[in-house]
Amino acid sequence: MNLRGMRKKMTVLIDSWAWIEYFKGSAAGEKAKEIIENSEDKVIVSAVNIAEVYNSFLRDYSPPGNKRYAEASRKAMKQRSYVYEVDEEIAVDSAKIKHEKKWGLGERQKGKVQRFSPGTHISEP
């Protein structure tokens, strides 16, 4: 809160897991829903997160619906957030973070994004 008692806007990264739960409509996805749909905060997502969510629909649902669901999730993510592009510097720094922390692909991208974008990070519990 600032001196006037108003909440400061934040940059919020919604990770792949939270997006998947949001699209499933699960109880866990309700927290992400509040931020994605009703927040005054700036919502960001990595291009890698879009790929992970897209892949989860291709993997977890049967054809031909899986491609339709994957495209719908991609469109929704792009409409409801700012897509943070991953360049070479971020990719290399992310690889270093992955090695140090023993994280997966999306996790290392989130670590790097958090360095550039102070705020919260909605992810798997």
Encode pLDDT of 69-98 as tens digits.
Answer: 999 999 999 999 999 888 888 778 877 877
pLDDT for residue 3: 56
Q: Which residue has the higher pLDDT, 52 or 91?
A: 52
The architecture (CATH level 2) of 11-85 comes to 3-Layer(aba) Sandwich (3.40)
d(CA 119, CA 41): 9
Say which range, 1-5, 8-12, 26-30, 48-52, has the weakest mean pLDDT: 1-5
Q: Where in the chain are the domains?
A: 11-85
